[in-house]
Amino acid sequence: MLRLIDINKTYPGAVPLHVLKDINLHVETGELVSIMGASGSGKSTLLNILGILDTYDTGEYYLDGTLVKNLSENEAADLRNRKIGFVFQSFNLINYKDALENVALPLFYQGVSRKKRNILAMEQLEKMGLADRAHHLPGELSGGQKQRVAIARSLITRPALILADEPTGALDSRTSKEVMEVFRTLNTVDGMTIVIVTHDPGVGEQTNRVIRIVDGQIQ
């Protein structure tokens, strides 16, 4: 599903920062993996490259067989929207839209009719055990519920891959376990390929493979 070959990235500046160093990484379809490392080790940079949210300097990145390199912004957005669902630490929900509207939003951008969007969004909310929260605003939901809404939103376009950046970073340990349980079920029952970036060993333990990154290098 994912193959990185000798990926390097440097942030330019008065003192350039060589943040990813010869990264080689291979994630198979159906894997549940974590990328673990300390703060500042380059995890988010790596995930942003995997998610085609950022570019790399040298090397090759293949996503589901497609070389992700020198893409125009439109090509990158198209590939991203078709292949990838994102989950973030801070949920990134729209505060004035209810749970159902938040989950349905990616389909709005795909031009799906309101009726169909709402049916599909409700299905995803039901799957997350949140049907009764559909018409609540994010501010009326707990942290764990917000993250489950965000996971429902990430799934609505039927992506091949879920990328999550510190998805439990804003949650207490009990709620973290619940959210990790959701990812585990998506992986074991639906066969979703999931890559989770985290600095939390407790999260890493709940994945099937831990990839360690130290100072921009895979260990």
Contact between 41 and ligand ADP per CB under 6 A: yes
Residue whose CB is less far from ligand ADP, 42 or 159 = 42
Residue whose CB is less far from ligand ADP, 39 or 72 = 39
Beta strand pairing call for 161-165 and 84-88 = parallel
Interface size with ligand ADP, residues (CB under 6 A): 11
Contact with ligand ADP (CB under 6 A) among 7, 9, 42, 176: 42
Contact between 175 and ligand ADP per CB under 6 A: no
Spell out a b/e string for 15-46, using b for 16 or more CB atoms within 10 Å of the CB, else e: eeeebbbebebebeeebbbbbbbeeebbbbbb
Contact with ligand ADP (CB under 6 A) among 2, 7, 37, 144: 37
Contact with ligand ADP (CB under 6 A) among 43, 117, 133, 146: 43
User: What is the spatial distance between Cα 178 and Cα 171, in angstroms, rounded to a whole number?
Assistant: 10
Binds 173, which of Mg ion, ligand ADP, none (CB < 5 to 8 A, cut-off by type)?
none
Contact between 94 and ligand ADP per CB under 6 A: no
Burial tier of 114 (Cβ tally within 10 Å: 0-12, 13-18, 19+): exposed
Closest-CA residue to 202 (of 107, 175, 147, 99) = 175
Binds 202, which of Mg ion, ligand ADP, none (CB < 5 to 8 A, cut-off by type)?
none
Binds 41, which of Mg ion, ligand ADP, none (CB < 5 to 8 A, cut-off by type)?
ligand ADP
Closest-CA residue to 131 (of 123, 139, 143) = 123
Residue whose CB is less far from ligand ADP, 43 or 127 = 43
User: What is the spatial distance between Cα 56 and Cα 70, in angstroms, rounded to a whole number?
Assistant: 10
Contacts (Cβ under 8 Å, ≥6 apart) of 111 = none
Contact between 89 and ligand ADP per CB under 6 A: no
Contact between 77 and ligand ADP per CB under 6 A: no
CB neighbourhood size of 130 (10 A): 22
Query: Which residues contribute to the site for Mg ion (CB under 5 A)?
Result: 43-44
Shortest separation between residue 201's beta carbon and ligand ADP, angstroms: 15
Q: What's 139's DSSP letter?
A: G
CA–CA distances in Å: residue 104 to residues 63, 100, 110, 192, 206:
25, 6, 10, 20, 29
Contact between 129 and ligand ADP per CB under 6 A: no
Binds 109, which of Mg ion, ligand ADP, none (CB < 5 to 8 A, cut-off by type)?
none
Residue ranges in contact with ligand ADP by CB under 6 A: 11, 17, 19, 37, 39-45
